[in-house]
Amino acid sequence: MTWWRCSIRRQRSVCAEPPPAVILAAGNGARLGVKMSKPLAPLLGQSLIERSLRTCVTVGVRQFVVVVGQLEEEVRAHLGMLAERLGVSIECVRAERWFLGNGASTLAAANEIGNRSFFLLMADHLLDPEILSNLLVDPPATGEVCLAVDHGGQQVFDLDDATKVRCVNGRLEGIGKDLDEWDGIDTGAFLCTPAIFAALEKAQDAGRYFLSHGIAELASGGLVRPVDVTGYRWLDVDTPEALAEAERRLLASLDKGRQDGFISRWINRPLSTRLSKYLVRTDVTPNQITVSSFLICLAASALLALGGYAAGVVAGVLIVAASVIDGCDGEVARLKAMVTARGAWLDTMLDRYADLAITVAIVTAYAKHFPGALPWLAGMVAVSGFILVSYVTKEFTLRHESAYPNDILDRVKHRDLRLLVLSVGAVTGFPFQALVLTGVFSHALVVSIMVRGWRRSLALTGAPG
């Protein structure tokens, strides 16, 4: 329902031709308390590594090098399936000495990467895609490495176990779990040049096998640039507690930052988030949810066209159900990092046709008992109003290059309010009256938004025609 903002941001990143990503997935799930390989641990219906891959795909990454070690075959099989599902290329390389430390694992990717720059990420870190976008804004110069750093230390989960960093004058000066003085946390997201490999080899020769040892090596030469990503969500899923926290945070994210209509906020959203929390653990995809909502609307339309009180009550309930479910597609997509332009595209267009079906059904039933032109004229007003109220804000966005503001008009124009009124009408035996009400109201909104757009364009161009 409100996806397009995300999709526009993603597209912009795609244009920048992002680098490949190296994902370290060699560790096991011992600390996490799972018997499987840690990258395969499930979180709200998706493995941790699928989430990592999807996060990268969101900013446009298409090529992956995944370093495997423990339970190699299991991970390889899972990655084979993911490569197909996501339409990306995934090379698996084995880190023979993964157990020594994640620096040793990183080195295993050196041949595959060659002399390209690359994202370096941990399979078990959840990252807001914006963290990767931030790294892309100002990529590392030759010989440098950029590290996403969170300076909001108090909010970091399991601070004791986190890797701290100290930054001075825009350069990393120190890194380690036991730094005495620190001002930020290593989020585990890097944008590297191949210089990291030489640094890791040097550290290894000194018997130091962790990634932070290689980073410290580069930092001593002033070659590590911290990128501030304070405020963006990330989490190192290392323990059962962290896994539970990850689930809690993901679900909590459904409840905020939305531009909902009034009905969504107080009725639909509380119901749909509950349903989404269930759906996200299943294999049901967001697009399947979208289509289900559409089919339920068609069923409600068939009942409405039949007419009669009983059919109206059932239709009313179905309409509310469809309206609630229509909110789940976006929620599940966000929870599973599966937000796509095509999902939003499908959702928007099917909504319009669902509205058309409901309108035609209500008018058909009413016209059986009250012949003449008037019911039909009302239907034509309603159907055009329902489409135009969505049309007018899209037109506004195109003309002004910014989304229509979330003002009172925006909040009452949403489809959820319209469907609720129609549903109440159907249940109480007055579907046609509800249709007339919503139809006239929609046109009033269209005209109000037209006037607003007219005034606003004056302010922008200063050249009245």
Contact residues for its own copies, defined by CB under 8 A: 4, 7-8, 10-12, 14, 54, 57-58, 62, 85-88, 285-287, 333, 338, 340-346, 348-349, 352, 356, 359-360, 363-364, 367, 371, 373, 376-377, 379-380, 383-384, 387-388, 390-392, 394-401, 446, 450, 453-454, 457-458, 460-465
DSSP state of 268: I
- Kindly tell me which of 217 and 351 has the beta carbon lying closer to its own copies: 351
Considering the complex, what minimum distance in angstroms separates the CB of residue 278 from its own copies? 18
Considering the complex, what minimum distance in angstroms separates the CB of residue 289 from its own copies? 9
Tell me the residue length of the chain: 465
- Kindly tell me which of 238 and 355 has the beta carbon lying closer to its own copies: 355
- Lookup result for tokens 């941990």: 122
CA-CA-CA-CA dihedral for 404, 405, 408, 410, to nearest 10: 30
Considering the complex, what minimum distance in angstroms separates the CB of residue 13 from its own copies? 11
Considering the complex, what minimum distance in angstroms separates the CB of residue 461 from its own copies? 5
- Kindly tell me which of 38 and 336 has the beta carbon lying closer to its own copies: 336
- Kindly tell me which of 207 and 464 has the beta carbon lying closer to its own copies: 464
Considering the complex, what minimum distance in angstroms separates the CB of residue 255 from its own copies? 22
Considering the complex, what minimum distance in angstroms separates the CB of residue 100 from its own copies? 35
- 267 alpha-carbon distance from chain centroid: 23
- Kindly tell me which of 141 and 380 has the beta carbon lying closer to its own copies: 380
- Kindly tell me which of 177 and 394 has the beta carbon lying closer to its own copies: 394
- Kindly tell me which of 65 and 337 has the beta carbon lying closer to its own copies: 337
CA atoms in the 13 A half-sphere facing the CB of 59 = 22
Taking a C-beta distance cutoff of 8 angstroms, is the pair 75, 40 a contact? Answer: yes
Rounded to whole angstroms, the Cα distance separating 408 from 445 reads: 10
Q: Print burial letters for 307-320: b (CB count within 10 Å at least 16), e (below 16).
A: beeebbbbbbbbbb
Q: Regarding beta strands 184-192 and 118-122, do their DSSP bridges make them parallel or antiparallel, or are they unpaired? A: antiparallel
Considering the complex, what minimum distance in angstroms separates the CB of residue 424 from its own copies? 23
Instruction: Give the chain's end-to-end CA distance (angstroms, integer).
Output: 35
Considering the complex, what minimum distance in angstroms separates the CB of residue 464 from its own copies? 7
DSSP code per residue over 371-383: -SHHHHHHHHHHH
Q: In 10 A of CB 147, how many CB atoms?
A: 28
Considering the complex, what minimum distance in angstroms separates the CB of residue 323 from its own copies? 20
Taking a C-beta distance cutoff of 8 angstroms, is the pair 198, 128 a contact? Answer: no
Listed residue (200, 189, 163) closest to 178, CA to CA:
163
Rounded to whole angstroms, the Cα distance separating 329 from 339 reads: 9
- Kindly tell me which of 318 and 337 has the beta carbon lying closer to its own copies: 337
CA angle 189, 190, 192 (to 5 degrees): 165
- Kindly tell me which of 179 and 275 has the beta carbon lying closer to its own copies: 275
